[in-house]
Amino acid sequence: MAVLCDWEIRARCEKSYMVVPFDEKLLNPASLDVLLGNHLMVESIYSPELIRVDISHYTEEEPFRLEPSEFCLAETCELFNLPDDISAQFVLKSSRARSGYQHLLAGWCDPGWHNSKLTLELKNVRSHHAIPLYPGLKIGQMVFHQMSNVPLNSYAKTGHYNGHLTVMPSVA
């Protein structure tokens, strides 16, 4: 497996709509930055189920506040359509990690995952201060991998999380 470089990511996105919307300003040498979308799922003391929250009206100046030790599911702004010869891995931006954000390492995307926003598992690991969440926050980056070959069973046929246009809880 080889990591795609900037011009390979650009070519895939422009030719096959691998990431929509694609913004060339978000390209890095070996990854593509991704932005936080408009929806979260947060914990409530009244139910074990996570509650959907629309954060589209929050801004950098007036953000949604994830309190210390709180957990939420979030979505990317971008929609992904991975071809059968490309896998991807979500990685938290180092500047976010240094500010107290944690991603729970469930960001692997199999070849064939398509028509979906990525659901992120975020936690505030700070002890005393909230961290901000708002649409458009540069939250992480996707690293794309060229597969050594096309798999026999594409995630397009076997996956549980295809076609999800918003943040999703576990289906397993």
* Active-site amino acid positions: 121
CB 113 within 8 A of CB 156: yes
Q: 55-77: buried (b, 16+ CB within 10 Å) or exposed (e) per residue?
A: beebeeeebbebeeeeebbbbbb
Q: Which amino acid is at 129?
A: H
Give phi and psi for 166, each to the nearest 5: -150, 175
CB 87 within 8 A of CB 136: no
Query: What 3-state DSSP class applies to 95?
Result: helix
